[in-house]
Amino acid sequence: MSKRIKIVRQVFLNLLSIFFIIAGLSLAWPSAKILYNVQMSRDWPQVKGKVISSTLERRWASRADDLGQSYCPRVWFGYRVDQRDYISDSVTLVPPWTKFKAQAEELAGRYVAGDTVSIHYLPADPQTSVLDVTVVPPAECVKFGVGVLLLLIGGVALISTVFRGLVE
Protein backbone atom coordinates (compact mmCIF):
# COMPACT_ATOMS: atom_id res chain seq x y z
CA MET A 1 0.00 0.00 0.00
CA SER A 2 1.27 3.46 -0.83
CA LYS A 3 1.96 5.94 1.95
CA ARG A 4 -0.87 8.21 0.75
CA ILE A 5 -3.45 5.40 0.92
CA LYS A 6 -2.25 4.49 4.42
CA ILE A 7 -2.69 8.08 5.59
CA VAL A 8 -6.18 8.34 4.05
CA ARG A 9 -7.12 5.00 5.65
CA GLN A 10 -5.77 6.16 9.02
CA VAL A 11 -7.71 9.44 8.87
CA PHE A 12 -10.91 7.65 7.79
CA LEU A 13 -10.66 5.11 10.64
CA ASN A 14 -9.93 7.86 13.16
CA LEU A 15 -12.94 9.88 11.99
CA LEU A 16 -15.15 6.79 12.07
CA SER A 17 -13.96 6.05 15.62
CA ILE A 18 -14.66 9.62 16.69
CA PHE A 19 -18.15 9.35 15.14
CA PHE A 20 -18.81 6.22 17.23
CA ILE A 21 -17.61 8.00 20.37
CA ILE A 22 -19.83 11.04 19.72
CA ALA A 23 -22.85 8.84 18.91
CA GLY A 24 -22.23 6.82 22.07
CA LEU A 25 -21.99 9.93 24.21
CA SER A 26 -25.13 11.44 22.68
CA LEU A 27 -27.08 8.30 23.59
CA ALA A 28 -25.52 7.40 26.92
CA TRP A 29 -25.23 10.82 28.58
CA PRO A 30 -28.92 11.92 28.52
CA SER A 31 -30.04 8.41 29.47
CA ALA A 32 -27.53 8.29 32.32
CA LYS A 33 -28.94 11.58 33.66
CA ILE A 34 -32.50 10.22 33.51
CA LEU A 35 -31.53 6.93 35.16
CA TYR A 36 -29.61 8.85 37.85
CA ASN A 37 -32.64 11.06 38.56
CA VAL A 38 -34.91 8.02 38.77
CA GLN A 39 -32.51 6.46 41.27
CA MET A 40 -32.23 9.67 43.30
CA SER A 41 -36.03 10.12 43.43
CA ARG A 42 -36.20 6.99 45.59
CA ASP A 43 -34.50 8.97 48.37
CA TRP A 44 -36.76 12.03 48.10
CA PRO A 45 -38.93 12.79 51.14
CA GLN A 46 -42.51 11.53 51.09
CA VAL A 47 -45.80 13.11 52.02
CA LYS A 48 -49.35 11.85 51.89
CA GLY A 49 -51.64 13.27 49.26
CA LYS A 50 -54.94 12.63 47.51
CA VAL A 51 -55.63 11.48 43.99
CA ILE A 52 -57.81 14.10 42.29
CA SER A 53 -58.44 12.23 39.02
CA SER A 54 -57.10 9.35 37.02
CA THR A 55 -57.57 9.13 33.26
CA LEU A 56 -55.90 7.75 30.19
CA GLU A 57 -54.30 10.08 27.67
CA ARG A 58 -54.12 8.94 24.06
CA ARG A 59 -52.04 10.35 21.24
CA TRP A 60 -51.41 9.47 17.65
CA ALA A 61 -47.81 8.93 16.67
CA SER A 62 -46.39 11.87 14.79
CA ARG A 63 -43.47 10.04 13.20
CA ALA A 64 -43.77 7.87 10.11
CA ASP A 65 -41.74 5.08 11.75
CA ASP A 66 -44.04 4.96 14.80
CA LEU A 67 -47.53 4.39 13.45
CA GLY A 68 -50.52 3.96 15.70
CA GLN A 69 -51.69 5.18 19.08
CA SER A 70 -49.85 5.47 22.38
CA TYR A 71 -51.36 5.65 25.86
CA CYS A 72 -50.24 7.19 29.11
CA PRO A 73 -51.94 7.30 32.50
CA ARG A 74 -52.67 10.87 33.58
CA VAL A 75 -53.10 10.97 37.34
CA TRP A 76 -53.65 14.33 39.02
CA PHE A 77 -52.90 14.46 42.73
CA GLY A 78 -52.64 17.11 45.43
CA TYR A 79 -50.33 17.31 48.42
CA ARG A 80 -48.96 19.76 50.97
CA VAL A 81 -45.33 20.57 51.78
CA ASP A 82 -44.36 23.22 54.37
CA GLN A 83 -47.90 24.64 54.56
CA ARG A 84 -48.08 25.06 50.78
CA ASP A 85 -50.43 23.12 48.50
CA TYR A 86 -49.26 21.55 45.24
CA ILE A 87 -50.95 19.74 42.37
CA SER A 88 -49.04 17.50 39.99
CA ASP A 89 -49.63 14.77 37.42
CA SER A 90 -46.30 12.89 37.30
CA VAL A 91 -46.84 9.21 37.88
CA THR A 92 -43.15 8.61 37.10
CA LEU A 93 -40.24 10.90 36.24
CA VAL A 94 -40.41 9.78 32.61
CA PRO A 95 -44.00 9.64 31.31
CA PRO A 96 -44.85 5.95 30.82
CA TRP A 97 -46.16 6.08 27.24
CA THR A 98 -47.00 2.65 25.85
CA LYS A 99 -48.60 1.13 22.77
CA PHE A 100 -50.57 -1.22 24.99
CA LYS A 101 -53.80 0.32 26.26
CA ALA A 102 -54.28 -2.42 28.88
CA GLN A 103 -50.85 -1.70 30.36
CA ALA A 104 -51.63 2.02 30.68
CA GLU A 105 -55.09 1.27 32.10
CA GLU A 106 -53.53 -1.04 34.70
CA LEU A 107 -51.14 1.70 35.84
CA ALA A 108 -53.89 4.35 35.89
CA GLY A 109 -56.16 1.91 37.76
CA ARG A 110 -53.75 1.85 40.70
CA TYR A 111 -54.73 5.44 41.44
CA VAL A 112 -58.44 6.00 42.06
CA ALA A 113 -59.83 9.49 42.70
CA GLY A 114 -60.06 10.09 46.45
CA ASP A 115 -57.36 7.55 47.38
CA THR A 116 -54.59 8.58 49.75
CA VAL A 117 -51.17 8.04 48.17
CA SER A 118 -47.50 8.48 49.05
CA ILE A 119 -45.85 11.19 47.02
CA HIS A 120 -42.09 11.61 46.61
CA TYR A 121 -41.03 15.24 46.07
CA LEU A 122 -37.76 17.00 45.30
CA PRO A 123 -36.79 18.91 48.47
CA ALA A 124 -35.31 21.85 46.53
CA ASP A 125 -38.47 22.13 44.39
CA PRO A 126 -41.54 20.48 45.98
CA GLN A 127 -43.54 21.05 42.77
CA THR A 128 -41.39 18.29 41.22
CA SER A 129 -42.96 15.09 42.47
CA VAL A 130 -43.80 11.53 41.47
CA LEU A 131 -46.08 8.76 42.65
CA ASP A 132 -44.08 5.73 41.54
CA VAL A 133 -40.30 5.64 42.03
CA THR A 134 -39.95 1.95 41.21
CA VAL A 135 -40.36 2.28 37.43
CA VAL A 136 -37.09 2.34 35.52
CA PRO A 137 -37.80 3.34 31.90
CA PRO A 138 -36.73 0.38 29.73
CA ALA A 139 -36.06 2.58 26.69
CA GLU A 140 -33.56 4.64 28.70
CA CYS A 141 -31.77 1.47 29.82
CA VAL A 142 -31.50 0.33 26.20
CA LYS A 143 -30.29 3.74 25.01
CA PHE A 144 -27.71 3.83 27.80
CA GLY A 145 -26.47 0.33 26.96
CA VAL A 146 -26.23 1.01 23.22
CA GLY A 147 -24.48 4.32 23.93
CA VAL A 148 -21.89 2.68 26.17
CA LEU A 149 -21.34 -0.05 23.56
CA LEU A 150 -20.79 2.55 20.82
CA LEU A 151 -18.44 4.46 23.12
CA LEU A 152 -16.41 1.33 23.80
CA ILE A 153 -16.23 0.38 20.12
CA GLY A 154 -15.19 3.89 19.15
CA GLY A 155 -12.63 4.13 21.96
CA VAL A 156 -11.02 0.78 21.23
CA ALA A 157 -10.98 1.49 17.49
CA LEU A 158 -9.42 4.92 18.01
CA ILE A 159 -6.74 3.58 20.33
CA SER A 160 -6.08 0.72 17.90
CA THR A 161 -5.73 2.95 14.84
CA VAL A 162 -3.56 5.50 16.66
CA PHE A 163 -1.33 2.74 18.06
CA ARG A 164 -1.12 1.07 14.63
CA GLY A 165 -0.17 4.43 13.12
CA LEU A 166 2.64 4.85 15.66
CA VAL A 167 3.99 1.35 15.05
CA GLU A 168 4.03 1.71 11.25
Strand order in the sheet with 69-81: 84-88, 69-81, 46-60, 116-122, 125-130
Whether domain 44-133 has CATH 2.40.50: the reply is: yes
> pLDDT tens track of the chain, all 168 residues?
688 888 888 889 899 999 999 999 999 999 999 889 888 889 999 999 999 999 888 887 666 555 678 888 899 999 999 999 999 998 888 878 888 888 888 888 889 999 999 999 999 999 999 998 887 778 889 999 999 999 999 999 999 888 876 666
> Are 86 and 126 contacting, i.e. CB atoms less than 8 angstroms apart?
yes
> Are 24 and 151 contacting, i.e. CB atoms less than 8 angstroms apart?
yes
Instruction: Tell me the domain boundaries of the chain.
Output: 3-37+143-167, 44-133
